[in-house]
Structure 1
């Protein structure tokens, strides 16, 4: 463009653009805009994350409650949540847990009642066997002894037959005594659980005569339990030892009772040849009865097959101490 001085043209002014300068200025403006945009997006993401975290925070409590139910802890309950949909889930969860807890308590009470009826039937059957068969076998043994005495003097060929009747009668009486012990165990309430278990192990050692060695270990105080709990523990130990002795062909059976502050653990371990599939808790009425007794006491029953051979049965129940009775003059 022309340059005028005092109204007259004196020259021409020429203007040019520097591309590098323009690009640099544009980049600075773009960088500033991008920075502002990035900060805005970061703030928005943080706000969204915080909002979602706060909204989904109750799902952690729901997950923890479900894990408690999965672990058989039916006392789990969920609080009321701010979100209406989650509050509905909380209400349904609490109702379901309460109903399950009530149903389980009723089932355990019914199982305990059935076990009491079974034990009473066993005691009645034991009395009948003792009074009827016991007396009959004693009479047969006495008559066989008298016949043997007479045959020895008057008819020697019949002496051995009479002695055979006496031996058979003695074997039947020994078998009957074993059945009576299984049907009607010693009075655990009077003797205490520890002495009763020690007597059980001693009786099996005497019966096996060294073919199988039975041992017992009692840790903690186990004689201040309620009578029903002591009787159930004795029955569980009795059935477990019987299974190990008769079905596992074991050389060594270890009975262990640990009475702790939180729970009571009764375990029977053997080195036998039992098939884990045949000794599963659902396979036999004996093991099924043990499982029912343990569940009725709020406990668990586990069967473990050892790789080195043998098996281990573990019953775990919550510790329940008998309340001391008030002294009466």
Structure 2
């Protein structure tokens, strides 16, 4: 059974390798070839040992290299086989090849897989056994063995283990950053959804209040007209005119907002509407209320993070709703595009641009939009001047980190 490491994949999230990313098996094959060639060179140029290098000696070199092809799936097995291979090679009394070079790849792989006890333990066992037999044989000076040989082998073992550990730590950190970014985006999406629901409820209350007031006016004027029938035709005519005006305004406002309120009843429908792809529905609603709307939208939902797409829709929705309700405008323009990785939104009308117009359109709805845009790392501004209309501009990062 393959030994799976808990180290997260270094490849990009969502599958598929980035352009230019080398396949892991290619790296392992190159590492294995380097190990085999280095050991073959040491065997060929080495001296000492009771037996001259033969095919079996070079087979050991090839075997140590071939183990690198299994280092990712079976790091513990590769480490154990490397230790046994070193002992077997020296048991056959071939020329010395050291104990560090055959073990470096296995120690690095075990540390990279998180097997720190196995890697340090194996290094200690190999070092201790090799030192014991070399001291026991007495062929070399004790000072040389305990000085130069010991320091160089310990340094190589420590470097291989430290390098493997650092690679593992870097991958874990990258995986944690990806997870943090995912959770942050999910949290932003949840907060945006809650704010959208709150704003729908606010809009529902405002619509209820507006219609309630209008129906009261209609009822009052109908009573006045009824009392004047047969006595004062001018009063009856004025009452009917007021009833027609009030009912027309209420129907226009109802048409402009009914789609928004209806979307709150179905979550899937909400998701489909809260997108730049649904802006045309807002335009149709505004034109039904007598506002001519032109659009210039070059950004697409696929270029945006989902919370950014929803926020862009809501900025346009709130702006167009305010144009219908408060601006006394006949035309509006919507511009949406992406420049330098940021989404730019602009909604301009030709209605009232006075201070009164600013106050009317700067209430809780626009404040809520400004807060949502700020949470996404962007900004929302408005500007107005007498007779020059009203403009809402927002800038948001197209992709959340």
Structure number with bigger Rg:
1
Q: Which has the higher strand share?
A: 1
TM-score by shorter chain over 0.5: no
Q: Which has the higher helix share?
A: 2
TM-score, normalising length from structure 1? 0.43
